[in-house]
Chain A
């Protein structure tokens, strides 16, 4: 069964403490993987699209990477303003399926 799973569910980091969020998927014929950031009470904000294994995308302190089975969102030297829920999503069939997200809290 096609699935999208994110881990951990929650992550608490000290400011400046780098870490990675994981998104694993079981999809045959991946047609793209998306990362979004969502702040409380707001709609998700598009961050990256990755299409093929080995691809990397960067934006400020965030870097997304993709393998054949999973994607990582690396956060380097995070700041409190990076606190949010990070969602990954994959087209499955003819709709986009979202993972349940990782809630990141960065402590000053």
Chain B
């Protein structure tokens, strides 16, 4: 099976702009989670989608949003970018239950200047 894919892999944006990141889960996986990883904070949970519904959301401002499509592919959007949003954004898919193991994509490295 193909693994989780994320596009783009690298992105450079300017403060105030917005960005959309894409994730394609492993075939058959219905749950997609998003994480932000920074050297200081580690892996921080952003949100999780299952069957096009957001089931859980982490402690991030409303500038961070996401959605899931009927084919389980997911996108996340960050509006009004801040310097502190520079991070590795990781997508993970799992078969369905929240206590299943997760399979991660390679991540999107976002740099905000």
Contact = CB atoms under 8 A, between A and B. Distances in A.
B102 interface: yes
Given A43-B105, A43-B107, 18 more contacts: A36-B104, A41-B109, A42-B106, A43-B4, A44-B92, A44-B104, A46-B104, A89-B102, A94-B48, A94-B55, A95-B45, A95-B56, A96-B33, A96-B45, A96-B99, A97-B45, A98-B35, A101-B42
A42 B107 contact: yes
Contacts of B33: 95-96
A45 B98 contact: no
Contacts of A89: 102
A71 interface: no
Contacts of A42: 106-107
Contacts, number: 54
A100 interface: yes
Given A95-B48, A96-B45, A101-B42, A49 B56 contact: no
Interface in A30-86: 31-32, 34, 36, 41-46, 49
B101 A46 contact: yes
